[in-house]
């Protein structure tokens, strides 16, 4: 995969719903899709998209939008941004003439998250029906949805399978008053008898992922749903991205020393190496041939063209100082560690970034420092910029709002690198299908 920020758009088009702070939208753009439309509801996320160059568009406007172009440091430049609830967009039919290549989005996940109310399809926040409406009205060639692993829980399996069948046959609408089980029975019958025109049917797969396996310096368990219009003859198996990074390769690199060579200027690194290696399992007898998982230390030192982030002093933390005028690299006091609230370790991928500043369970916003005497604790809160690093946002992406809102946007986002891996694979699959047509 290319380094973030080095790929020029190739001319394919995309639409992004539930864009949030822009992680998946940026990933899709970097993979060569030019956004025809971006939609978001949350006030601060909208401000973030506008700060990065998106142009507000009237939801009632039915003229064909011009695709946004973007450039490094201004990725959202020209993105036509429709603010507000997607349910208030009257129709997407005006996009059919634009031949949308990719519809992407992460429908709000609270109905399926372990932290949500677990009502599934009964929850009014379930936005999958809006994805299906958009598919019907714009007929995209491909669809990418990213969501939480809660979708795969045994208690949700029947409904999740129904979601995939509904995406397979989006034109077969659920009748008024019908339960989802009634609708699912109809969909099963149509898929079994093969009577649906391929131009109105989608081939749908889901892929469970850990973002760390795809080069993101963070443990983040998610699921991608990918769909292609059946009449295109796309061979997804040929292009589906496979994990390129592994924990075993990270352990091996620590045992044989290449990991530590990357960080040989860090103060006290020899002592740190001795401590970390002593706690590791043995090196692999047969290496798996993959790249090492990327760690929090890697992210702070600089990945994908980013410069190292400067460290913070205890005074920076107590005074909420913005260090070296780097946006969002500001100290924040009050970090604590206790049973059940454990910190990120520098020489592991970060824990899952969640939508909160403090108070999220597990200590995901706290990091253990190399200096155990730092501020009398050896811990501090991660800065917003450090958190953006482990979500693989480029340093020039501006986040709007107070700290809590910026952290919320990051916790709800798709890591840019992970999204780009899947968007590039979809792009390649479409290219290949068109060459064979």
User: Pairing relation of β-strands 366-368 and 379-381?
Assistant: antiparallel
Own/partner pairs for 307-311, CB < 8 Å, 24+ apart? Answer: 307/395, 309/383, 309/385, 309/386, 309/389
Residue 97's contacts (CB-CB under 8 Å, 6 or more residues apart) are 64
Both structure tokens of 238:
């040929």
Neighbours of 257 (CB within 10 A): 12
First-residue to last-residue Cα distance in the chain: 26
Which DSSP letter does residue 205 get? E
**Backbone CA torsion sign across 317, 321, 322, 325:** negative
Both structure tokens of 373:
């005497």
Helix (H, G, I), strand (E, B) or coil at 247: helix
Q: How many Å apart are CA 235 and CA 432, to the nearest integer?
A: 8
Question: Of the residues 76, 82, 89, 109, which is catalytic?
Answer: 109
Q: How many Å apart are CA 87 and CA 353, to the nearest integer?
A: 28
Helix (H, G, I), strand (E, B) or coil at 43: helix
Does 109 qualify as catalytic in the annotation?
yes
Annotated catalytic residues are: 109
């Amino acid at each position: 995969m290319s380094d973030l920020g080095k790929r020029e758009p190739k001319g394919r088009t995309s639409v992004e719903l539930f864009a949030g702070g822009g992680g998946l939208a940026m990933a899709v753009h970097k993979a060569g899709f030019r956004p025809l439309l971006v939609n978001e509801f949350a006030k601060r996320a909208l401000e973030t998209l506008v700060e990065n160059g998106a142009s507000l568009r009237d939801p009632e406007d039915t003229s064909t939008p011009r695709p946004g172009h973007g450039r490094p440091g201004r990725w959202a430049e020209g993105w036509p941004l429709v603010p507000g609830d997607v349910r208030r967009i009257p129709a997407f039919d005006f996009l059919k003439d634009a031949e949308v290549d990719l519809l992407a989005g992460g429908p709000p996940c609270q109905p399926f998250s372990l932290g949500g109310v677990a009502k599934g399809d009964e929850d009014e926040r379930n936005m999958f029906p809006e994805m299906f409406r958009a598919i019907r009205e714009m007929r995209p060639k491909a669809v990418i949805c990213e969501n939480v692993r809660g979708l795969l829980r045994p208690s949700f399996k029947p409904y999740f399978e129904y979601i995939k069948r509904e995406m397979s046959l989006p034109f077969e609408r659920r009748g008024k008053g019908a339960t989802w089980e009634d609708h699912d029975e109809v969909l099963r019958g149509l898929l079994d008898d093969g009577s649906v025109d391929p131009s109105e049917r989608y081939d749908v797969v889901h892929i469970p992922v850990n973002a760390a396996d795809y080069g993101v310096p963070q443990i983040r368990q998610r699921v991608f749903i990918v769909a292609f219009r059946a009449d295109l003859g796309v061979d997804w198996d040929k292009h589906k991205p496979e994990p390129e990074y592994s924990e075993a390769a990270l352990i091996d690199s620590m045992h044989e020393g290449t990991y530590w060579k990357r960080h040989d200027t860090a103060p006290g690194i020899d002592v740190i190496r001795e401590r970390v290696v002593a706690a590791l399992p043995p090196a692999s007898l047969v290496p798996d041939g993959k790249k090492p998982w990327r760690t929090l230390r890697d992210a702070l030192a600089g990945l994908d063209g980013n410069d190292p982030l400067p460290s913070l002093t205890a005074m920076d933390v107590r005074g909420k100082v913005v260090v070296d005028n780097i946006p969002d690299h500001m100290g924040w006091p009050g970090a604590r560690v206790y049973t059940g609230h454990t910190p990120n370790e520098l020489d592991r991928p970060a824990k899952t970034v969640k939508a909160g500043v403090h108070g999220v369970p597990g200590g995901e916003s706290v990091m253990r420092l190399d200096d155990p005497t730092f501020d009398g604790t050896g811990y501090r809160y991660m800065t917003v910029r450090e958190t953006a690093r482990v979500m693989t946002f480029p340093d020039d992406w501006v986040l709007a709002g107070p700290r809590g809102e910026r952290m919320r946007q990051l916790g709800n986002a798709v890591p840019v690198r992970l999204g780009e891996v899947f968007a590039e694979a979809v792009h390649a699959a479409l290219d290949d299908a068109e060459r064979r047509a």
